[in-house]
Structures are given as C-alpha cells and as structure tokens.
Amino acid sequence: MEVFNKMILMSYFATLNPVAFTNALPGNIAQGLIWGIMALGVYITFRLLDFADLTVDGSFATGGAVTVMMTINGYNIWVSLLCACIAGLLAGLCTGLLHTKLGIPPILAGILTQIALYSINLNIMQRHANQALSADKYNLVLSSRNLTHAIIVGVIFSVVIIAVLYWYFGTEQGSAIRATGCNPAMSKAQGINIDNMKLIGLALSNAIVALSGGLLSQYSGFSDVNMGRGGIVIGLAAVIIGEVLGDAILGKHMNFMGKLIFVIFGGIVYYIVIGIVLWLQMPSDDLKLFTAIIVAIFLAVPYLKGKSKASFKKAGKRSAAALNAKEGK
C-alpha cells in the first residue's frame, strides 16, 4: 500500500510542469496589478474610513460595463475610462447618501447599491449579460495579448494613483477623512462634517474600483455583469496580505506610502498564490474556497503574532529565565 501511494505521488508530481507555471506568471502579475488598484479603493473605505462597503462588487462591474460600451460606440478609450470613474463615483455617493441621509447601516447601504447596480449594469450593456471588446478592433490601453505592456501599464497606473492618494490624504480634507474613520465623535467635536467626509471617501473609493473594472474589461476582452462578484473578498485579501508583508518587511518603519504600495503587492501575491493553486491542478471550481482560506490565514497571522507577544505564559518564561540568570550571577 505504501509503495502504491508513493507511485501515485510520483506520477502526480511528474505531471506538474514548472515551465507552465513560469509561462502563466506574467499573466498573474498583470491581473494582480489590476486587482491591486481595486484593493486601493477597498483600502480607503476598509482602513481609512472604517466603513464596510460592499458596493465594490457592483461598481467594479459598472466600470467594466461603461468602459466597454462607450468604446464600442466609438468613444476614445481614455474618455471611456474617465466616464467609468464617474459612474463608480456616483455609485459610491449613492451608498453614502443611503447611510448618511437615510440612516441605513453601512453594510446594508452597500448591499442595496450593489443590488441596484446589477440591473443598472444590465441596462448599460443593453440587456446582455456580457459584451465583447476586441483588441483587434479598438485601440485599448492594455490587453492580455501583450502581457509585458499590460504589466507596464498596470505599474504606471499604480504609481500615479498611489502618488495622488498620498498627496491627497496629506491635505486638510484628506486628513479630515482619516480622522473621521479613526474617531467620528472626536472629529465631529472638532467641527468636521463627518457625513461629507464619508461621502467623499466612498465616492473616491468606488471611482478607483470602477477604474480597475475598466482596466480588467480591456485586459480580459469583455465585460460581464458578474465580473465584480466576490471582488470585495479579493480586495480585502490584497489589503490584508499587503499589511502582513509590510509589517514583516518594514515593521515600525512602514509609513502611509508604504501601506499603499504593499496593497498593490498584496494583489500581486494573491494572484501568484492562485496561480500556484491552479498549477497544482486543484479543482478550479474550488477557487472561492481557496480564496477564503488564504484570506483567513493572512487575517489570523497578525492576531496570532500579537497574541504570542502578549502571552502570559511567555512572559512568565522570560521572567523565570531572567530570575535564573540573576541567581546564576
């Protein structure tokens, strides 16, 4: 039986082709960059604004739908991307208004907007569940047919967005948004209109998410009404992975710029891990399960690390070791 198991393992590893994984790596990096940009939008609401926004699953698809349909109808691709950002901005404003003006809790406000966007996205795509966008017929910003160019474009977009966000959140208004997320009561006492700050933060977040959706629709060559489904999980995965990596590499020296950069790295690492899972010939139908496991692991790492540092048992051992050392002297 043991020999049989060894034969099965040997035959399994023999089917794994390192060249196939290497060939798929540029595509994983390109997709990781695009989803990393989406994760920057999630980071704004999740970390800076402390707002559980589920709008992104809908606004991501909205960005893709607007980009594809405007491009098909003859508009310049840059104009299409700009309109996608505006559409995402309006989606974020809708969620913000539901929360601030109607008193709907953040999660429910995001769910309501997300549900509404499903129908809106169908209408944008003329009642079709998906629309194709051929790189042969249209002059696109990036495409999966040229992975090197796609990676370069992804890096440029990431650098520009990170630079703009770093500058903006250092301004008075950006600092007010961060203060609102950190302590709403104190911010309100200091004269900050926290409702307006939430509206601005949600609008900015979903504009970036929609931009990412527009880039992915070009990369994939189509937009789909379900292309944003589960996007919030991928965005959170990129944020969490980036934070864990940043803390491990930079530790106390990681500043706000570093956090934004590592969010992008988180998206890349996430898609490389997914690439490894597929390379190991795991069932593709179980990708959502693997995604949940990956996020759970990276979420648990900071908690377990902090718990180990604050452990009374370890503190006791350190005290005992110090006492023994003193007595030895």
Confidence grade of residue 312 (pLDDT, cut at 50, 70, 90)? low
**Structure token digits, residue 174:** 């950006």
147 or 310: which leads in pLDDT: 147
Q: How far apart are CA 200 and CA 205, in angstroms?
A: 8
Nearest alpha-carbon partner for 34 in 201, 214, 167, 160: 214
**Structure token digits, residue 239:** 């944020």
DSSP 3-state of 222: strand
pLDDT value, residue 217: 95
Nearest alpha-carbon partner for 48 in 160, 208, 210: 208
pLDDT value, residue 152: 95
Q: How far apart are CA 234 and CA 232, in angstroms?
A: 5
303 or 84: which leads in pLDDT: 84
Stated length of the chain: 329
Euclidean distance between the first and final Cα of the chain, in Å? 58
The helix-helix angle for 18-43 and 231-249 (nearest 10°) equals 100
Residues contacting 177, CB < 8 A, separation 6+: 48, 49, 169, 197, 200, 201
295 or 106: which leads in pLDDT: 106
- Enumerate long-range contacts of 273-281, CB under 8 Å, 24 or more apart: 274/28, 275/21, 275/24, 275/25, 275/27, 275/28, 276/21, 278/24, 279/16, 279/20, 279/21, 279/24, 280/16, 281/12, 281/15, 281/16
Confidence grade of residue 289 (pLDDT, cut at 50, 70, 90)? confident
Looking at the predicted structure, is the pLDDT value of residue 176 above 80?
A: yes
Looking at the predicted structure, is the pLDDT value of residue 6 above 70?
A: no
Q: How far apart are CA 291 and CA 275, in angstroms?
A: 12
DSSP 3-state of 74: coil
